[in-house]
Structure 1
Amino acid sequence: MLNDILGEPPLDNTLNDAERVRILAKTALFAPPPAVLADGRREIVGLSREALAEALAALGEKPFRAKQIWHWIYNQGVTDFGAMSSIARPLQARLAEQFVIGRPEASAVQTSADNTRKFLFRFRDGQEAETVYIPDRKEDRGAVCISSQVGCTLSCRFCHTGTQPLARNLGPAEIVGQFMAARDSYGEWPSPAGETPRLLSTIVLMGMGEPLYNYENVATAMRIVMDGEGLGLSRRRITLSTSGVVPMMDRCGAELGVNLAVSLHAVDDALRDEIVPLNRKYPIAELIGACRRYPGSSNARRITFEYVMLRGVNDSEAEARALVRLIAGIPAKVNLIPFNPWPGSTYLPSTRQRLDRFARIVTEAGFAAPIRTPRGQDILAACGQLRTESRRARTVA
């Protein structure tokens, strides 16, 4: 299992690029399948701008064609080359012979009592991952919680996703495709009159998997999402959540600059070693150091510390005070997350009294400490509840 593959002594935060590449290379065993269909056509969604231009140049087309096609795919949301009215029909036919504009298939869709919607997306090789749309209760917008892997390698004790072994990484087309398929579901693509509201105004990489253990694919997908001539989502409207892959946090900040959320959940190494096993590799001191270095963090762009409240485990007043000391000096807020039970879990949610006391201590120290209202619990769509039946394909010798 990947847990064993990654089981090395802790690494410090001064790793050079070669060492970072070595960490990423270990997940190559779990690479997504090639974005090529059985009939030889290539998946065009997920190609970077440069790769799209190169693919079209191979067909003898000039660079402006790539810009036109990019706009149709990512700004207009078309799924048929025949709908690209600025492209001549002969070229439309050639493109259809070479490429496909795909989306992951929604093999199941559930809507909770609070209108949270959970998609079970099936990819071309039959593997599945879950994506959640969380509508805003006060505004005509919401957030899409996107998965970066099928399963997870981290095995956090309170997380349902962590009980599913990592099957594989998701590719750029599969990551950005989740967002595009959610837009399809809500009809959010621009209408001819331009009155279509932007319902999906934020992306949170908080679904299945650890995004920084699939960094290259996540980065390619997020650059597509942030491209101003396509999906056009600002980096301020994208939040990447990590359990603390310290060497990659610096690179993510330098190259993507998206908002950072850190799954902390404990204030001392002994407890975090138990409930977030990645801490044995990157202890709290190293994790907090990476947070202090994260570029762009300010009062306007605070780092979010996620803290799942587990009754009698991490919810004491002493731990609230220790948390305040730990993050002192970091522009930050603390999301207090009531534990969301799942079948087989052994933890209990903190009492409301404990939640309120913990929040008050953190707030009085000058940090925002909202208590997250659980959404989608009745369909297992809340934080830490995502899981599928996908498994890694066995290698035949």
Structure 2
Amino acid sequence: MRLPGVEPGSIAWKAIILTVGLQTPVMLEIEVHHHSLSFSNSHVRSLSTNSSPSPLFSITNPSGVEEKTGIPMKGSKVVLKGMRYPELENWVQSHGYRPGQALMLWKRLYGNNIWARHSEELEGLNKDFKRMLSEHAEFKALSLKDIYTASDGTKKILFKLEDGLVIETVVIPCRRGRTTVCVSSQVGCAMNCQFCYTGRMGLKRSLSAAEIVEQAVLARRLLSHEVGTITNVVFMGMGEPLHNFENVIKAADILVDEQGLHFSPRKVTVSTSGLVPQIKRFLNESNCALAVSLNATTDEVRNWVMPINRKYNLEMLLGILREELRLKHNYKVLFEYVMLAGVNDSIEDAKRLIDLVRGIPCKINLISFNPHQGSQFKPTREEKMIEFRNILAEAGCIVFLRPSRGDDQMAACGQLGKLGEIQAPLLRVPAKFQGALEASL
């Protein structure tokens, strides 16, 4: 089969197609060789119906990583922002330069208020070193497409990727001297959480470490003069961060490096919908903060609003947190709880939530649902959110009401992204909640 837009001799794309409507869906990986399609048996696998949700159709481009060294590449050039400092130092030394030159480069990429995007911005570096960098290194992973400003001062930045896809990054100023950048880890998302606009996109592809890191770098470069110092990073933008585990962990390591961006590990928060094996790895491999989107107090509701619960249910999710947090000193997980009118906001839900988190060192964020096109949910009324909060607080829980930020520019929690022709399906509403949803309309 001839594919339009694919040059002869290229191995340009891999496509993953999830067949739907079958009792046992099958995922095929297709590689393009010259002008033909080949199906590799080694890449055919069955997916159980309770497996992690997969996109209806997703395209991922090659990793761009040199196999022998693990160094991220763009064509014949290394991608500077895709390397941890030891990797950068080794690469610089491999070209005959001293480790001190690597440190000076690192500080100009990430520190000293320079945030360099090309070799001409590397003041103080050796001319030969700068020439070598211009020939063998790539500084840029993203290009700016647009910036939108919400009425509350929240900024939504649209970045264009090299393959033409677009991601969204949000910068949230706070009056208490804290400004947060919310970064994306994927284009779209495979989890299909029913209250999330991004989830309706399906998964297009995961971001590289460089594409993640540069969101924070460019947020500082573009907006620090307006919003002040950006102090916090949250991986709560587009995508499921732990579904892109290796690149997210690498990006987080770069963000907290003391010689560069120097974010505090406790001020870098990685959010997850509940991928249990990856949570275990994260708590063992990273010192950054963890947020878990809970959003329900029964498996029945969570199976519906967060399909990942069909594979990793509440007992498994909370069990791994209890087990792992016993080993971490002075560490609290953040539970995020999006309140959906008539679905998860009853007094009984509040009481069940208290029981669920008992014994887990935690804080709880109650989040107002942010409506979007095609949504079947409505936000809980403020007075009911306050009542819910008070029940939790009286039981000794650390609990906060988190206001919506940037919702008039579709920059609030659960509103990021742009739907294409192919969308993830809305799931069947359990009969007991159909009346509640109709009443909230």
Please indicate the TM-score interval, normalised by the length of the shorter structure. 0.7 to 0.9
Q: Is the 8 A contact 1:103 1:181 kept in 2?
A: no
In the TM superposition, 1:310-321 aligns within 5 A as 310-321=340-351
Q: Is the 8 A contact 2:325 2:331 kept in 1?
A: no
> What is the alpha-carbon distance in structure 2 between the residues aligned to residue 295 and residue 49 of structure 1?
29
What is the CA-CA distance between 1:236 and the residue it aligns to?
0.7
Q: Is the 8 A contact 1:167 1:391 kept in 2?
A: no
> What is the alpha-carbon distance in structure 2 between the residues aligned to residue 368 and residue 390 of structure 1?
40
Q: Is the 8 A contact 1:129 1:387 kept in 2?
A: yes
Q: Is residue 2:126 matched to residue 1:96?
A: no
> What is the alpha-carbon distance in structure 2 between the residues aligned to residue 155 and residue 312 of structure 1?
20
Equivalent residue number for residue 221 of structure 2: 184
> What is the alpha-carbon distance in structure 2 between the residues aligned to residue 8 and residue 66 of structure 1?
48
Equivalent residue number for residue 15 of structure 1: none
Greater RCO between the two (CA within 8 Å, min separation 6)?
Answer: 1
DSSP 3-state at the match of 2:354: helix
Q: Is the 8 A contact 1:109 1:119 kept in 2?
A: yes
> What is the alpha-carbon distance in structure 2 between the residues aligned to residue 148 and residue 297 of structure 1?
28
What is the CA-CA distance between 1:152 and the residue it aligns to?
0.1
Alpha-carbon distance change, 356 to 320 in structure 1, aligned in 2, over 3 angstroms: same
- TM-score with structure 2 length normalisation? 0.78
Alpha-carbon distance change, 390 to 62 in structure 1, aligned in 2, over 3 angstroms: farther
Comparing 205-214 with 345-354, greater Cα deviation is found at 345-354
Q: Percent identity?
A: 37
In the TM superposition, 1:227-376 aligns within 5 A as 227-295=257-325, 301-376=331-406
> What is the alpha-carbon distance in structure 2 between the residues aligned to residue 294 and residue 32 of structure 1?
34
Q: Is the 8 A contact 1:148 1:209 kept in 2?
A: yes
Q: Is residue 2:187 matched to residue 1:150?
A: yes
**Partner amino acid, structure 2, of 1:153:** A
Structure with max Cα Rg: 2
Instruction: Please point out which of 199, 206, 210 is paired with 1:173.
Output: 210
User: Paired residues, what number?
Assistant: 368
DSSP 3-state at the match of 1:384: coil
Equivalent residue number for residue 218 of structure 1: 248
- TM-score with structure 1 length normalisation? 0.86
Q: Is the 8 A contact 2:167 2:187 kept in 1?
A: yes
> What is the alpha-carbon distance in structure 1 between the residues aligned to residue 118 and residue 99 of structure 2?
21
**Partner amino acid, structure 2, of 1:164:** M
For 1:38-89, what per-residue CA distance to the aligned partner results, in whole angstroms no more than 9, with x for missing partners? 6x33321121223212322331223332222111111131223233233211
> What is the alpha-carbon distance in structure 2 between the residues aligned to residue 388 and residue 49 of structure 1?
35
DSSP 3-state at the match of 1:260: strand
In the TM superposition, 1:104-115 aligns within 5 A as 104-115=142-153
Q: Is the 8 A contact 1:143 1:200 kept in 2?
A: yes
DSSP 3-state at the match of 2:309: helix
Unaligned runs of 5+ in 1: 12-27, 189-195, 393-397
For 1:302-335, what per-residue CA distance to the aligned partner results, in whole angstroms no more than 9, with x for missing partners? 2111111111111100010000001001111111
For 1:312-361, what per-residue CA distance to the aligned partner results, in whole angstroms no more than 9, with x for missing partners? 11110001000000100111111111110001101111122321221111
**Partner amino acid, structure 2, of 1:68:** M
> What is the alpha-carbon distance in structure 1 between the residues aligned to residue 80 and residue 413 of structure 2?
32
Equivalent residue number for residue 378 of structure 1: 408
DSSP 3-state at the match of 2:231: strand
> What is the alpha-carbon distance in structure 1 between the residues aligned to residue 78 and residue 328 of structure 2?
42
> What is the alpha-carbon distance in structure 1 between the residues aligned to residue 392 and residue 214 of structure 2?
38
Q: Is the 8 A contact 1:149 1:170 kept in 2?
A: yes
Equivalent residue number for residue 24 of structure 1: none
Instruction: Please point out which of 67, 80, 100 is paired with 1:64.
Output: 100
For 1:199-239, what per-residue CA distance to the aligned partner results, in whole angstroms no more than 9, with x for missing partners? 21000000111111101001111111111111111111111
What is the CA-CA distance between 1:33 and the residue it aligns to?
4.8
Comparing 102-111 with 296-305, greater Cα deviation is found at 296-305
**Partner amino acid, structure 1, of 2:103:** K
Alpha-carbon distance change, 367 to 7 in structure 1, aligned in 2, over 3 angstroms: farther
Q: Is the 8 A contact 1:31 1:169 kept in 2?
A: no
Q: Is the 8 A contact 1:114 1:375 kept in 2?
A: yes
DSSP 3-state at the match of 1:168: strand
Equivalent residue number for residue 137 of structure 1: 175
**Partner amino acid, structure 1, of 2:77:** R
DSSP 3-state at the match of 2:399: coil
